Structure 1
Amino acid sequence: MNSQATSGHNAAIKRPCLGPVQAVVFDWAGTLVDFGSFAPTQVLIDAFAGFAISVSMAEARLPMGLAKWDHIKALGQQPGVAQRWQEQHGHAMSDADVDALYAAFLPLQIEKVAQYSDPIPDAVRVLEHLRSRGIRIGSCSGYPRVVMDKLLPHAAALGLKVEHAVATDDLKAGGRPGPWMALANVIELGIRDVRACIKVDDTVPGIEEGLAAGMWTVGLSLSGNEAGLSLDEYRQLSEAERALRREAASTKLAQAGAHYLIDTIADLPAVIDAIAERLQRGEQP
């Protein structure tokens, strides 16, 4: 009798999710808004400069996707930055120093986030497309709540509206690369199966987040942190230059485990169709 009950339980666990796609959970900077993801990186550079430490854009981008306190700590642990901090301040960066940097960073980020956060081309159109298909729209971010409270009304005024948004400090469990923010969207939106969800992100921690939550993952190769291009720079690239940028970013996101890679959110509807077909065939993330 016990054996039969266990067998039935296992059969239920293994039952495939046959679709359709129920929800898409988006990142914000570099995914929905802020082509090239400059708001978090430039403000971090400015914050470090206030402590007499120069940080390059390439250095600032390496930990992108983490919660901002964790991002600052990881940035300070990079060998070059750590050496400059030691030389300038006479000691290794401590958690108290991270606290001080974060305290300087946060008001700058609140002040400047809207300045950088225009919708990425076609983002509004794609979200309307999802609504027309009955697909729920969630989101999460490495930004803390005080920054999201500035960003969300700005984006909504420009036509970019989501059903739910989770900030990195909303949950006791923490942020990326753990699954918690993505799963908080699943709970809030009433999604019945995480296997029918898609996580869209431009960073490695964001892809890892979606995988940890049991979702399909889509990496953005050219609109976000990995390529690090402004919209004007992106438009001015030759096809050969664009291909080189795409290859470098795609390689990193693919190594993180992304199921699909696209240039920008404009290409997402075709991927949703492909995932829906795979779900109908019984395939799982």
Structure 2
Amino acid sequence: MQHTLEAVIFDWAGTTVDFGSFAPTQIFVDAFQTAYGFALSLDEARGPMGLGKWQHIEALGRDPAIAARWQAQFGRPMGQADVRHIYETFIPLQVERVGAHSALIPGALDVVQSLRQQGFKIGSTTGYPRQVMERLMALASAQDYTPDCTVCADDLPAGARPGPWMALHCVQQLRIGAVSHCVKVDDTLPGMAEGLNAGMWTVGVALSGSPAGWTLAQYQAADEASRANMRNRVSAELLAAGAHYVIDTVADLPVVLQDIEQRLAQGQRP
């Protein structure tokens, strides 16, 4: 088959590794507790998922419920000094523990290997800073997953998601001819915005990512009714954010790529 698509740009946690995206969310809970003795729930920690980690902490501080508890506990709003302290607490914890959540999501490696055989280039972007990604990339490489490029949240002066800059930096590194020939795959709303703002096709991941919050064991044990309920809830959020397609996990990507190829052949663009 003659391909018009040139590249797929994957997110990391919740999309290609770390089923349920537990590494970053749990560490946010731990960082708030360690830095300030402040209680944050796992669901609250998931709220801004997809942003760069500094921006994620800022967003948590602006959440009305969290901000009210912070004000009650400390008698002041969260400030930039607080954000910095939590971030500086977060990073070493994340580097230390990212290995516990580094397993590839089932089907991810098969999909990537198949894409490479078809001539696709593989890019990746992440809300993780480079310091964390150096560790995670080594662990992924040991599982035979090594994207052609990886752009981290702190790599670019323009910033990270929801802006287009990380995805567009992948376009430059991969030497892609047109952004409409790229597909962005992500489990978060900022990830959808990243792809859309870059002019790419966007594919949301419903069941392996942060919005669902399932472990792999929970996903495997869930009956079809439970999966359908979760799929419907998360898909509605991703589609409302502009996703062109929503799949359960990255293993379901090939059929979507075939459909995008047909749409491109008909002259459609993202």
User: Under a length normalisation based on structure 1, what TM-score does the superposition of the two structures give?
Assistant: 0.93
1:127 pairs with 2:112: yes
Q: 1:256 corresponds to which residue? A: 241
1:38 pairs with 2:22: yes
1:205 pairs with 2:205: no
Q: How many Å apart are 1:19 and its aligned residue?
A: 5.5
Q: How many Å apart are 1:83 and its aligned residue?
A: 1.7
> 1:219–1:253: 8 Å Cα contact kept in structure 2?
yes
What stretches of structure 2 of length at least 5 have no aligned partner? none
Q: 1:246 corresponds to which residue? A: 231
Q: Which structure 2 residues correspond to residues 170-189 of structure 1 after superposition, within 5 A?
A: 170-189=155-174
> 1:19–1:196: 8 Å Cα contact kept in structure 2?
no
Q: 2:33 corresponds to which residue? A: 49
Work out the CA distance in 2 between the residues paired with 1:195 and 1:114.
34
Query: AA paired with 2:28?
Result: L
Q: 1:273 corresponds to which residue? A: 258
Q: Which structure 2 residues correspond to residues 1-285 of structure 1 after superposition, within 5 A?
A: 20-50=4-34, 51-285=36-270
Work out the CA distance in 2 between the residues paired with 1:53 and 1:266.
38
195 and 19 in structure 1: CA distance in 2 versus 1, 3 angstrom threshold: farther
Work out the CA distance in 2 between the residues paired with 1:196 and 1:179.
15
Please give the secondary structure, in 2, of the residue aligned with 1:227: coil
Structure 1 segments, 4+ long, off by >4 Å, are none
What stretches of structure 1 of length at least 5 have no aligned partner? 1-17
Larger radius of gyration: 1
Work out the CA distance in 2 between the residues paired with 1:272 and 1:124.
16
What's the CA shift string for 1:165-205, capped at 9, x where partnerless?
Answer: 00010001000000000000000000010001000000000
Query: AA paired with 1:45?
Result: V
Q: How many Å apart are 1:262 and its aligned residue?
A: 0.2
Work out the CA distance in 2 between the residues paired with 1:283 and 1:76.
41
Work out the CA distance in 2 between the residues paired with 1:193 and 1:79.
41
Q: How many Å apart are 1:221 and its aligned residue?
A: 0.4
Number of aligned pairs?
Answer: 268
Please give the secondary structure, in 1, of the residue aligned with 2:29: helix
Work out the CA distance in 2 between the residues paired with 1:129 and 1:19.
13
Work out the CA distance in 2 between the residues paired with 1:134 and 1:117.
26
Work out the CA distance in 2 between the residues paired with 1:182 and 1:170.
12
Q: 1:11 corresponds to which residue? A: none
Query: What is the identity percentage for the equivalent residue pairs of Structure 1 and Structure 2?
Result: 53
> 1:19–1:279: 8 Å Cα contact kept in structure 2?
no
Q: How many Å apart are 1:53 and its aligned residue?
A: 1.0
Work out the CA distance in 1 between the residues paired with 2:62 and 2:31.
16
Please give the secondary structure, in 2, of the residue aligned with 1:165: strand
